[in-house]
Amino acid sequence: MNILYPQWQGGGLNKATYEGAMDLKRNYLNMAEFFEVEVSLNENETVENNIWAYKTILHQLKDIKGLLDAKNPETLFTVGGGDDIEVIPMSYMNYKMKGDMTVAFFDAHGDLNTPESSPSKNFHGMPLRTLFGEGDEVILNLLYSKISHSQVVMIGTRDCDPAEEYYIRDNNISMITSERANSNSSSVIDALKEKASKNVYIHIDVDVIDPTEFPYQPVPAEGGLTIDTFSKLLAEISGEFRIVGVCLLGSAALDNRKIGILQEIIRIGYSKLMLDKE
């Protein structure tokens, strides 16, 4: 099942990820049917329960959950939008896989704040922590399942708050730095194999790529994966594992350009998932 979910509110007033999702829709998402989750464009939002635009985000999370409840898909390709769109799709696929799923988490940022610890109160800094079962109780109750720390391999993560760094260390979460991945891509494959599941869910925030090679990102962090490394890793993961879900998010407006690495990701999202489904 293919879903376009252009939620932007997790990034505060910055609509860059909405504009990026709309560019992806116009220029890339014409190869298969997509179900689109409607999102509000209202900027007159406030902080509630330590989350900016809380009520709007909650409403939109309920909408995508209702869509998944109605369709009950076997695999998911989700395109957003900000990182915070991930909480329902990933928890859904983990539920479908009965926990037998490894998450390849390609992201420059940890996404590991709680509403209380977040300096910005922006929900895009909280989705992975939410999936681990910590955060706003109402949102937690929407999850289909919770992800365990041992299921995740963080790849290319390099821009974390000190509290997030402590959390990664204290919970022994697997992490492969950009430097290590760029010099030895097999280290990523080895880390995923250590999780002992053939089912892999690929989370892709495009800011995992170094901004000198891919500048279309609202919150860039220097020192990311090269496009060559990232492309190689996607091909190797697709060849070694059964891909049960792909989530592509975090892109800013693309100025109507066709970009090869995005075409690769979308091709994997379409063809690999459809092939596995068959």
Picking from 206, 108, 204, the residue whose alpha carbon sits closest to that of residue 157 is 108
Report the run of H or E that residue 59 belongs to, with start and end: helix 54-71
Whole-model pTM: value is: 0.96
Q: E-strand spans in 31-115?
A: 35-36, 47-48, 51-52, 76-80, 102-106
CATH level 3 topology of 2-277: Arginase; Chain A (3.40.800)
Query: How many whole angstroms separate alpha carbon 217 and alpha carbon 214?
Result: 8
The predicted pLDDT at position 273 comes to 60
Query: How many whole angstroms separate alpha carbon 34 and alpha carbon 78?
Result: 9
Query: How many whole angstroms separate alpha carbon 67 and alpha carbon 47?
Result: 27
Query: How many whole angstroms separate alpha carbon 267 and alpha carbon 260?
Result: 10
The predicted pLDDT at position 33 comes to 86
Query: How many whole angstroms separate alpha carbon 60 and alpha carbon 149?
Result: 26
Query: How many whole angstroms separate alpha carbon 93 and alpha carbon 114?
Result: 23
Q: Are 18 and 81 in contact (CB under 8 A)?
A: yes
The predicted pLDDT at position 277 comes to 45
SS (H, E, C) 117-149: CCCCCCHHHCHHHHHCCCCCHHHHCCCCCCCCH
The predicted pLDDT at position 275 comes to 44
Residues of the chain short of pLDDT 50, as ranges, are 274-278
First-to-final CA distance of the chain: 13
Residue pLDDT, tens place only, 216-257: 999 999 999 999 999 999 999 999 999 999 999 999 998 777
The predicted pLDDT at position 256 comes to 72
The predicted pLDDT at position 272 comes to 57
Q: What are the extents of the domains in the chain?
A: 2-277
